[in-house]
Amino acid sequence: MILKHVIESQQFTVPMLVELFNMADGMERIVDRGGTGDYSNRIMASLFYEHSTRTRFSFESAMLRLGGKILATENANQFSSLMQGETLEDSVRVVANYSDVIVIRHNEVGGAARAAEVSSVPVINAGDGKGGQHPTQALLDLYTIHREIKTIDGVKIAMVGNLAEGRTVRSLSYLLGKFERVKLYFIAPKTLRMKQDITDYLQHHNVWYTEEEYLGKIVNEVDVVYMTRLEPAERIGIEPGHFFIDESIMKHLPHKSIVMHPLPRANEISATVDRDPRAAYFRQTRNGILVRMALLVSVLDN
């Protein structure tokens, strides 16, 4: 697969997703071989206008696993500080002369698209703005389902927690809507329900979904429980146990099902769950490396 830039999840069709996931599967062999000479002379620049050590490390690990090299800054706002006043566009044009691919984390919605417009090298969006995109997170979530459940068509998934503001569950719902016979169970406090733009989209594409207030009620029916972070402040007035998962819930989860979480977690998941083989959230982290390797290859081979 050849990609020019990776800016938003909407740019991926189902055939592209299938191809991407096949590439990601193959990346494990490259990791085992310690990279490939094809990328040993390529430089990835991490241009992070916001701190996100986790995402930056994941991309940098992916590039190193390919055999490539890294330029990194956690302080890209240096480039465009008020004092200096440089535009994002000028900074990107400069960094494009220093590197072969730019991974950008920007604080404004649309920052990555603006970067792609002026860059002479590929741009990958590592998150732009609170309400913006974080496409590689959505792709690694979907890839984890593909890898763990062996199919995305027909998957039954419960999404639990703050669905109103959760970027990951919103993007994942959108992507899952492209597949066949998917069933979505939204489990959220009344004030944090999945927003109407997503439910409208699902209805329009005839995707089955339901809204519940208690995970325990449907946990025995699902392939995936996707937990999200609930800040302490958001838990006020919420009955304990409803949006949290522990052994009492796990014992009703089918044997081949999994628990996912985008991390970092607060205490939505009891530590006792960590040892359960169905706890997939740290494997999800590792899958992120494979998906990002596949995306880097797709843009570098362009």
List residues binding a second copy (CB under 8 A): 33-35, 40-43, 45, 51-54, 56-58, 60-61, 64-65, 67, 69, 71-76, 78-79, 84-86, 90-91, 93-95, 97-99, 263-266, 282, 285-286, 289
Choose between 91 and 257: whose C-beta lies nearer to a second copy.
91
Choose between 123 and 222: whose C-beta lies nearer to a second copy.
123
Shortest gap between Cβ of 93 and a second copy (angstroms)?
A: 5
Shortest gap between Cβ of 169 and a second copy (angstroms)?
A: 18
Measure the CA–CA gap between 127 and 55, rounded to whole angstroms.
9
Token pair recorded at residue 104 = 């950008």
Let me know how many helices (H) and strands (E) the chain has, helices first: 9, 9
Q: How far is CA 140 from the centre of its chain?
A: 5
Choose between 55 and 173: whose C-beta lies nearer to a second copy.
55
Shortest gap between Cβ of 276 and a second copy (angstroms)?
A: 14
C-alpha distance from residue 205 to each of 28, 171, 179, 260, 295 (Å): 35, 15, 10, 25, 27
Residue pair 92/118 in contact (Cβ under 8 Å)? The answer is yes
Sign of CA dihedral 175, 2, 7, 106: positive
Shortest gap between Cβ of 58 and a second copy (angstroms)?
A: 6
DSSP 50-67: S--HHHHHHHHHHHHHHT
Choose between 18 and 43: whose C-beta lies nearer to a second copy.
43
Shortest gap between Cβ of 11 and a second copy (angstroms)?
A: 26
Q: How far is CA 56 from the centre of its chain?
A: 13
C-alpha distance from residue 177 to each of 22, 167, 203 (Å): 20, 16, 10
Choose between 86 and 153: whose C-beta lies nearer to a second copy.
86
Choose between 39 and 179: whose C-beta lies nearer to a second copy.
39
Shortest gap between Cβ of 83 and a second copy (angstroms)?
A: 9
